[in-house]
Structures are given as structure tokens and as C-alpha cells.
Structure 1
Amino acid sequence: MSEVRLAAESRTEFGKGAARRTRRSGKIPAVLYGHGSDPKHLALPALEFARVVREHGTNAVLSLELNGGSELALTKTVTTHPIKNYIEHVDLLLVQRGEKVTIDVPVVLVGDAAPATLVTQELSTIQVEADALNLPEHVEVQIAGVEAGTQIHASDVVLPAGTSLVTDGDALVAAVNAAPTAAQLDGAEAEAEPADDES
């Protein structure tokens, strides 16, 4: 994944009032930390950052242009307003070229399992370790034609070169089971109905 350039400004005011003023000016309050350095309080352009998250996901590597220099950062936490759905705050993690980082990547199931099966996805993300500048956007699990009774564990997921699994290899990612028949569904409904009172 390539770096995404983003202009950032230093923030000198803190607290809720200052954060509100930052957001009113079209920017998002953010904190950059890591590598034992003091946290840096920043303001990111709201529209550009929202576009980066939409197009590249939260694992995008940001090249922050700040005070005449640049810093590489990974999005750690994005806090969104629960009702109005705008980004309230962002935590960024300082990274260096060649550094390995641990991230959560989405698991995408590809294809259709065998007929008369039901697929249950138990994990929507798995944790992996990869080079900070070569992070996978997602991992794919092929389930085309997979028969009932198949279980796919984290250790079965094919990872890109240079990426290693952090999630427990025994963790269940997806299960393919036999779909219930119409008769079974009817039987379950009949059991759920209260018996008539014969007294």
C-alpha cells in the first residue's frame, strides 16, 4: 500500500472548546504518538482524511507534512460521533520505514459454498504483523464449492508475502454447515408453538 500525503498542522489549544473550534474550521483534532516521543497534537483536514479512510481503509500509511518536514503515521483509532457520524478525533501511531506493525485486517469470503450449505463467518478481521509500508488492505478466503462440515481457521488463511499471523491459528474464521431443510424448519416452528390446552 502506498503512502498517502496529508497536510497537518500543530495544535496549541486543547480541551473540548478547542476541539470544537478545530472541527468548525473543517479540521479533525488528532494525536500522534509512538517511539517514545512526546505526543504531538495535530489538526488534520477533515474532508481529505475522510476520503483516505473511505478509499484506503484505516490501515492507510499517512505521510504527514508537518512544520516543513514529514512523518509517517498509521491510523490507530478513529472516533466517530455516534449520531451525526462525523469524525471527532483520530489517534495516529508514528512508524518508520522497515518497521513491523500489528494491525487488524478485514477477512473477505470469496465465492459460493456448495449447494444446500450455510456459511457462518465467525471473525470479520484477523490480526497480522507486516511491514508498515506494505500492509494488506484485506485478506481473502476462498469458499467456492466448499462442502458442508468444513471449518476454516485463522491458520488456513493465505497471507501475502512478508505478512505473519498474530491471531491464534486455531481461531475459527468461518464454518460451512448443511443448510436446514424445509422439513427441519417446519419441525422447529412446530416445536416453538405452544401446545393446545386440552383441559
Structure 2
Amino acid sequence: MQTIVLEAEKRNTKTKGALKALRKKGLVPAVLYHKGEPSLTLAVKESALRKLVYTTESHLVNLKFSDGTETQAIMKSRQFDPVSDQILHADFQLLKADEMIETEVPTLFKGTPVGTIKGGRVQVIMHKLRIRTLPADIPEHIEFDISKMDIGDTLHIKEANEMFTSAKWKILGDPSISIVSVVAPTKAVEIIAAETAATEPEVIAKGKEKSAEKAEKK
């Protein structure tokens, strides 16, 4: 997994006015936490943070402080302004090499399902999956080959874990939860197709009638 370095500043400012001033400087208020330890309030550059936010992959983070120390973490959540889409806040979880963590990882699907050749369509239910693993074993994404899926087939968490028995991580959640399906065409599409098929001969027939009328007049 790729690691992104973020320069971070420790901060003591917590009032709304102080946080607003930070954001005007292009900084994002953040918190670094670990279970059983005091949280640390930070500020990171929004421009650098966007590399973590606007990506389809998972990344580890090295928070680099001005005193030369570095801390490995993972971003757990972020908040956005609903109007401007500005990043308002971010939460980071401190990582320890020997401690298992739970985190979300994007899903990736490859292959053309046989069901789509028959008119079906792919329906992705889970764009991210929650896993449990050690920090060093977090994958950038989890890739599934769906080329053999037919119409009506569904991949659940149970089957997904069976596919990756040798992986150093485990997908969490109810085993019956669906991840991706190949579904039949909707009725609306079928109706349109049927109407089109029924209308085309009529149009052709009308065209022939008009041609015959012109020939008779001549």
C-alpha cells in the first residue's frame, strides 16, 4: 500500500473563530487519536489532504511534524462544507505495527460477466468493504473477478472471504450481505424493446402503402 506524507502542525486552537482562521490559511483542523491515549489536535494543508480524499485507493499516512518526528496513521473520516465542498475537518487513527485495526477498503471489479452478454447489468452494492488486519497488510483495494457471473448471480461477503482464504485480512460484516449482482433487464427496458419491435413493421407497412398509392396515381 502506498504511503502519503502529510506535514502536520500541532495546535491548541479549538474555538470556532480560531478554526475559521486556520481554514482561511488553507489549513484543515484535524485530530489524531488512539484508543486509551489522549487525542492530539492538528492542522494539515488542505491541498495535500485532497490527495487522500479524492482517490479510489486506500493509503497509509505519515504525519510529519516540524520537530522532525513522524507518526503512522490512517484517515478514518472527514467533513465537508455542504455548499463549497471545502474539507472542514479530518480524523486520523494512530497505527501500531502489532495492533489489528478495522478500516474500509474500496472494491474493484474486473471482467465482463456472462450475464451482461445476455442483456443483464452489473449492480454494485458495496463500493467499500470493512476489513480487519494489521497496518502493513492493508490492501489498496479488493479486486473481484466477476466474468463468470450470470443473470441472477450474487456475490456475498461469505463467498468473498472464501475467495481470499490466504489473505492477511478478513472482510467484516454479515456473511449474507451482497457485494455485487448481475440482474435481469428492467421491465421498462423490456417494454420499450417490445414496443419498438411492434412499431417498426407498421412503419414499414405504411411506407409501402404510400409507395403503392403514388404508383397508382401515375
**What is the TM-score normalised by the length of structure 2?**
0.76
Closer/same/farther in 2, CA of residues 45 and 183 from structure 1, 3 Å limit: closer
Larger radius of gyration: 2
Partner of 2:178: 172
For the 8 Å contact 1:63–1:70, the answer to whether it is kept is yes
Bigger fraction of residues in strand: 1
Alignment of 1:1-199 (within 5 A): 1-55=1-55, 57=57, 59-66=58-65, 67-114=67-114, 115=117, 116-157=119-160, 158-159=163-164, 161-180=167-186, 184-186=190-192
Q: Report the residue type matching 2:62 in the other structure.
A: S
Bigger fraction of residues in helix: 2
Supply the distance in 1 between the matched residues of 2:90 and 2:148 (Cα, whole angstroms). Answer: 42
Closer/same/farther in 2, CA of residues 37 and 150 from structure 1, 3 Å limit: same
Closer/same/farther in 2, CA of residues 56 and 18 from structure 1, 3 Å limit: farther
Closer/same/farther in 2, CA of residues 161 and 38 from structure 1, 3 Å limit: same
**What is the TM-score normalised by the length of structure 1?**
0.83
Closer/same/farther in 2, CA of residues 79 and 188 from structure 1, 3 Å limit: farther
- 1:78-120 per-residue CA deviation (whole Å, 9 max, x = no partner) reads 1111111111100111111132211122222222222121222
Higher deviation after alignment, 48-57 or 36-45? 48-57
Q: CA deviation at 1:10?
A: 0.8
Supply the distance in 2 between the matched residues of 1:63 and 1:184 (Cα, whole angstroms). Answer: 53
Q: Report the residue type matching 1:161 in the other structure.
A: A
Percent identity of the aligned residues?
A: 25
Supply the distance in 2 between the matched residues of 1:33 and 1:181 (Cα, whole angstroms). Answer: 50
SS at match of 2:23: helix
SS at match of 1:133: helix
Unmatched runs of 5 consecutive residues or more in structure 2: 196-218
Q: Cα RMSD over matched residues?
A: 2.5
Closer/same/farther in 2, CA of residues 122 and 182 from structure 1, 3 Å limit: closer
Supply the distance in 2 between the matched residues of 1:27 and 1:133 (Cα, whole angstroms). Answer: 29
Unmatched runs of 5 consecutive residues or more in structure 1: 190-199
